[in-house]
Amino acid sequence: MTAIILSLILIALGTTLWQRGRIEGEYRDVGLLVDWSDVQVLSALTGTSVEELLTGFQVRGANGLVVSMEALTQLDFAAIPPGYAMIIPRVDLVVPGTEETGEVSFAPDLDRWSQSIDRVRRQGLVLPGLVFSLGDDESPFVRQEKPGDGLSIFPLKSWLTAQDLALGRVEFGEVPGESSIAAAVGEKVLRVHTVPRREVRVYSLTKSAERYARAVRERGYRGLWIRLILPEDTTQDSPLGIVLPEASPSDLLADNYALVDKTASLVQGDGFSLGIPRPLPPWNNGLLGFSGALLAVLWALCLLLVIVGFSPVVAGLLAALAGLGSLVIYGTNPIFARQGIAFVAANLFPALALWRGLTADREKSPVPAVRRTLAVFGQVVALAVCGGLVVTIALGDYRFMIKTHQFLGVKVALLLPLLSAGILALFWDEEAKRLHRPSAAFLKRRLAGVNTLTRWQVMAVGILGLAALGLYLARSGNFVVPVPEVEVWMRTQLERWLVARPRTKEFLIGYPLLLVGLYWTQARINPPWGQAVTVVGSVAAVSMVNTFCHIHSPITLGLLRTLYGIILGTLLGLILILLSFLVAGKHLGIHRGTGREVDLG
């Protein structure tokens, strides 16, 4: 029976990875689209004709334009060189004069829009999708809308379907109601990345180009809406009456040409081609994939139930009921069922991995401590990798790749495994090899080592722990904590060397500390502090599973950055273990293989 279950899980995994790899391999055309309004401003600044500018951008890799719907109605197609193959219409939701009140002033003239779309198609140009723009500043109208409102109140769904237009979703610029529109057009979505005007002014040319290329390589974007480098005292809506910057027009022109050229070079250097981007085709791994993920989660659930004290028979019955309920939910709401299984897997497997590391047998053994440490470390990593792969199977649906639906509970999945595994380890009876019933006496015995600390030491450890936890959660987002320049430099170098850059908290912090903590425990140098360090180091396992929760990122990239993180982290961890061994051996008389317990505190 076990062999059958394992075979089903492996078949589901193999099918999912093959489907993901095939789609990601076929859809590698990237569109480089310059903004029409920016081109007009640059033309006024440099005295260069629009046609000459577009030709210059085209020979450097640009193959499309982003044009506002208003400008599209009067667009002079004669100014567009033959090398341009597509136009993405831009719908501006922010109307001047309404930002302060947040009034809804967006009233689309769909008949006029239809005429503009027909004009574009008659010119032989492709329309990959239509994007909605919030402008360069935040719009109160958009921010005050409730989820599900916004664009959904306008008659755009049927119009997009009738025009056979994909919905272009701009990263970090999503508008409330876009998801409902995406569902109405059959999830026909083109994901677009751009650098907002307010960020263009502070980014260097190289950083802007690297950001565009990174969006393609790491997050699966296929449309790049290039915003040109313009003086701070210009805007895309007022090309007249501009005060020329200190930089000469020729320098300004050269910088923008270099931006497009650099972006195109980086994108092509990553193995992508410049062409017309296409929405992903509908696909999912079906009931087979869902069943494989479900079986893996039920196995882990049975293991957890046995750990907490249930008999194997009762644990199996409870898991069977949970599996039956999951299948019923899948029959009525497949997306929600997939999100639920993925959430359980993302929390359960890292918790089991950490629990294994904290409760590993540390009795005296003729096997060297380093070898025992590596064995336990391998088990911890294997459980975490299993969790990440199960999440990949569970979210095996193209709607997660285009982000119309997402993994639910990212922040919870970063914290809950640490808390649950810590509680399990706290009440683990090392002598009986089972979970002890919670009691004050047992807890006091488990925390006996803490009694040697002073009140101030306990307070210091608590404050540092809370600060580290806050930083850990904040760094998991996109906007909360800025990245230090040193780390930015290190990330850039790793991207150049490895392409798939491993996460900093994995290879530089998590895995090394996890190995050191396990070594201190296995070598019986100081088991209580070893377990504490193990908990801190377990963020690597949690972070690894979190990597696979971002289904919109290429699966190959996720696997490579996981592998690189494990390799680099293991090497650094072994160096730290060597230092620990040398320090312990020199100052405390510890010798390899003695199994002597020493208190480093």
Residue 117, in any domain of the structure:
yes
Tens of pLDDT along 357-415? Answer: 887 776 666 667 888 899 999 999 999 999 999 999 999 999 999 888 889 888 888 88
Range from 59-68, 76-85, 182-191 carrying the lowest mean pLDDT: 182-191
CB 536 within 8 A of CB 513: yes
Statement to judge: residues 358 and 426 lie in one domain: yes
pLDDT value for 102: 44
Sequence-ordered list of residues with C-beta below 8 angstroms from that of 379, at least 6 positions apart, any chain: 353, 356, 357, 360
Residue 152 vs residues 28, 182, 494: alpha-carbon distances, Å: 31, 10, 43
Per-residue confidence (pLDDT) for residue 432, from 0 to 100 = 61
pLDDT on residue 241: 41
CB 75 within 8 A of CB 287: no
* Phi and psi, residue 66, nearest 5°: -105, 120
Asked if residue 382 is part of any domain, the answer here is yes
pTM, full prediction: 0.84
Residue 598: band (very low, low, confident or very high) from pLDDT cuts 50, 70, 90:
very low
Query: pLDDT higher for 221 or 582?
Result: 221
The predicted structure's pLDDT at residue 423: 78
**Neighbouring C-beta atoms of residue 507, cutoff 10 Å:** 25
Domain that holds residue 50: 28-274
Give the least confident one: 24-33, 152-161, 331-340.
Answer: 152-161
User: How many domains is the chain partitioned into structurally?
Assistant: 2
Question: 182 vs 319, which has greater pLDDT?
Answer: 319
What are 307-366's pLDDT values in tens digits? Answer: 888 889 999 999 999 999 999 999 999 999 999 999 999 999 999 998 888 877 766 666
Helix (H, G, I), strand (E, B) or coil at 121: helix
Alpha-carbon separation of residue 521 from 93, 509, 542, 574 (angstroms): 59, 18, 21, 15
Using alpha carbons, list the distances in angstroms from residue 352 to 5, 178, 299.
20, 38, 12
Within this chain, do residues 158 and 106 fall inside the same structural domain, yes or no? yes
Is 515 within the bounds of a domain? yes
| Residue 564 counted as domain residue | yes
Same domain, 351 and 477: yes
Q: Give mean pLDDT, residues 64-72.
A: 91
Lowest mean pLDDT among 90-99, 311-320, 406-415, 560-569: 90-99
Residue 162 belongs to a domain? yes
Rounded average pLDDT over 2-20: 88
Co-location of 187 and 150 in the same domain: yes
Domain of residue 121, CATH code: 3.20.20
Judge if 367 and 222 occupy the same domain: no
In the prediction, which pLDDT does 146 show? 37
Q: Residue 272's pLDDT is what?
A: 95
SS3 571: helix
Compute the average pLDDT of residues 231-248: 49
Q: Are residues 308 and 430 in the same domain?
A: yes
- Same structural domain, 73 and 184: yes
**160 with 305, same domain?**
no
204 and 156 in contact (C-beta within 8 Å)? no
Mean pLDDT within 526-535: 79
Residue 402 domain-assigned (yes or no): yes
pLDDT value of position 335: 95
Residue 520: per-residue pLDDT: 86
Same domain, 570 and 548: yes
> What band does 249 get if pLDDT is binned at 50, 70 and 90?
confident
Three-state secondary structure along 198-214? HHHCCCCHHHHHHHHHH
- For residues 241 and 317, membership in a common domain is answered with no
330: left (phi over 0), alpha (psi -120 to 50) or beta: alpha
Higher per-residue pLDDT: 536 or 456: 536
* Domain-located, residue 22: no
Report the distance separating Cα 530 and Cα 188, nearest Å: 51
Tell me what pLDDT residue 349 has: 94
pLDDT of residue 236: 43
Report the pLDDT value the prediction gives residue 345, as an integer from 0 to 100.
96
Query: Which domain-ending residue is among 274, 299, 320?
Result: 274
Q: Is 597 domain-assigned?
A: no
